[in-house]
Structure 1
């Protein structure tokens, strides 16, 4: 008997109602994500990528269709998912340590063991020395690393990433790409990333789902070659197949 998909999106449609009109953001979207897989959503602005991620996170229910996490239909936010955004969302009046355990406190899981695990994760990414610092004392890259640990501290099975690296300089972006891949592989997490950075998509993902249209639909799915997937994000960019794949992906995203 095969294990269920980590994520099943089944005939998903979502319509937002405003005072003036109804706007359908995504329509008839279906796909599966296997346990441990890293899937990336790309496409032009306004095609529903972030809406789709929010639906998977259970932030609001779909208008039609359904979403299953490990075979169970969701009806709201799930403890099996962790959601990381472009803005780190750190609370300025709390120390790094207090920020790390915020999710645990909200879920009433701030046990001694889980707090110790959060500290361990912070040490693992080289930031144990800032435990008692406040967010204003950290650089942008450090803040995002803390946000990553805060997301992982609740030990989700699925990590949902909505352009978490887009505001960083190239050095911090590349460092965090490597770090995220390392952490996901070590802890056997499933991930869905939304990004506008096509290089980032190819360097990090196992599969890329190209969305387009309004309402948004999945136009095409590209599987990253094994020889690129086996490399770190930095080294992947130097592979001979990387640039042709980037150009193919660019043409697909830019297609009317």
Structure 2
């Protein structure tokens, strides 16, 4: 699968070069105000609709009710279904139409990606990863280095607390799905540590994240002809359009 390719390739690269980053210290600078704040109800509904579109779940009677949309999002999904949903949605995320990173689609993609990882690995330490990534973005934004985390042709999305909330929900769902799938309780593992190590490498040297674009699952899948296959929720329902 595309993501399995990414996991293995990224792990090999990281294991070979992580020694380079030992002893590198970030420069401290005065903080600045975040570029993105909490979502409006409309943005949250749009994020939920993106997830449901990617999972191919019907939400036609719930477009205007955020609690109903979240209930539909929280219904368990098979591991393969979540993987496919993420891969399909990321192909949309990196398409020219969404070049400027509309945060609802960012939130949906983050939710599905970490939901897949949690379901696959059962690593309970993934629960802390959304906030860790958010903090790294805030730090780099304060230093005008946010695009050091860039792995595609698009700019890095700004830090957003609401994106974190959707990702945290993704971890919670993924760990619950892991238990349903395996019968085992989630436990501390190695996946979160691996991803944090790669994040620290990207913070220390921009060429690391730049190099990862060649192993990015969307780049890999799109090279095999995969394009955006998820319908934009706003195209079918005016209540989900954003100004």
Q: What interval of TM-score do these two structures reach, taking the shorter chain for normalisation?
A: under 0.3
The TM-score, its normalising length taken from structure 2, stands at 0.27
The TM-score, its normalising length taken from structure 1, stands at 0.26
Tell which structure's C-alpha radius of gyration is larger. Answer: 1
Instruction: Work out which structure has the larger RCO, using CA pairs closer than 8 Å and 6 or more positions apart in sequence.
Output: 2
